[in-house]
């Protein structure tokens, strides 16, 4: 499954459990680790967990096993590695603190 179709599966899973402020960032020119990052906000640690679980379940139903995840349990940030797409589900406080959108959207500095 290509990264665009996988992103659609992820966004559908996020929206179905009411994740907020969903942002997709194309990072294929910035890193060899992944093509896309999807960032979303959950309203609480429990909501973050439920949303992340739903993303994993929907990916599996689409035939893609997550390569790994971090932050499970009572966490403010869960990362799900789907290979071509990495999903970050965070509380609003964690999202504001780490500011991944700014970090991954900054212009590249020529070397």
* Domain topology for 3-105: Beta Polymerase; domain 2 (3.30.460)
Half-sphere exposure of 36 (CA within 13 A, CB side): 19
Binned at pLDDT 50, 70 and 90, residue 89 comes out as: very high
Q: What's the rounded Cα separation, in Å, for the pair 91 and 73?
A: 13
15-19, 53-57, 105-109: lowest mean pLDDT where? 105-109
pLDDT tens figures, 45-78: 999 999 999 999 999 999 999 999 999 777 899 9
Structure tokens at 17: 């459990």
Q: Give CA separation, 72 vs 7, 21, 46, 99, in Å.
A: 21, 21, 10, 20
What angle (nearest 5°) sits at the alpha carbon of residue 92, between those of residues 11 and 104?
Answer: 65
SS3 65: coil
The model's pTM = 0.91
């Amino acid at each position: 499954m290509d990264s665009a179709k996988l992103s659609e599966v992820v966004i559908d899973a996020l929206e179905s459990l009411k994740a907020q402020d969903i942002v997709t960032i194309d990072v294929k020119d910035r890193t060899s680790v992944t093509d896309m990052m999807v960032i979303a906000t959950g309203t609480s640690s429990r909501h973050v967990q439920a949303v992340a679980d739903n993303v994993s379940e929907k990916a599996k139903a689409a035939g893609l096993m997550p390569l790994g995840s971090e932050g499970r349990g009572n966490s403010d940030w869960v990362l799900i590695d789907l290979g071509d797409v990495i999903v970050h589900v965070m509380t609003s406080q964690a999202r504001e603190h780490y500011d991944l959108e700014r970090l991954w959207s900054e212009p590249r500095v020529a070397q």
